[in-house]
Structure 1
Amino acid sequence: MIKTAKISPKQIALLHVAKRELSLDEGNYRAVLSLYGGAESAKDVTQAGFTRLMNYLVRIGFKAPAFAPQTRRKRDAGALIGPWQTAKIEELYVALGIDTADRQQKLCKRVIKKAWPQTRGEANKMIECLKAMAKRAAP
């Protein structure tokens, strides 16, 4: 008797995602599983059946998450500081009572070794530092 390789738990999860995305009811899902996957249950589908099943699901409109285009772009930590970051830093300074420019610069020099953050990464470091200080100061 030849043993065939079953699909992995991640592949089973992908089948369930496809079922949800395509709005397949239980009857239609089971019919597609048996027709293209060769099994009554997702856990009994073989690798060959999974390939046939995914080809069919893609044909009827499923876009697998691994192949879907990424809409979120990564921000460059070395890019210039954003206006929202400047506003957040100022807001945190006011909340902490660090009101003079001299005190603000001394804190920046202690945290990022510069008088004022120049990049997004430095600004994020300052924001996280100020948030931690605010959390410690809160009763």
Structure 2
Amino acid sequence: MTLDHKKLAVIHIVKRELDLSDDDYRDILERETGVRSAKDLDEKGFRRLMRAFAASGYYRINKHGLTLRQKMYIGHLADDLGWDEEHLKNFLNKYYHKQEIERLTKGEASKVIESLKNILKRE
């Protein structure tokens, strides 16, 4: 059975977020699942591919351990707050002395997430 369109979309979002070339993406896909197209994946292959992304250096945004999941969650929380990119950038600069999400360490990103969640609770 093939994957539903939502899971295929997740794969392609991750590919884009990780800035993988098409060749690199297909090589990872083939190495981990035995297929060269996400359309040929089943549920087991999807889980294997996602675990491979999570366990590999590809899943890390920077050398300080920031993960794609953290980056996406921070963006989601900022959207929930109604913040534009400039507002988020100013927040990061003021409290974390970083100009952009990609410069955060894994620990800093965790603190940013908790801060944004607390701000959201108060609103």
So what's the TM-score if we normalise by structure 1?
Answer: 0.43
Bigger relative CO (Cα 8 Å, ≥ 6 apart): 2
More helix by share: 2
So what's the TM-score if we normalise by structure 2?
Answer: 0.48
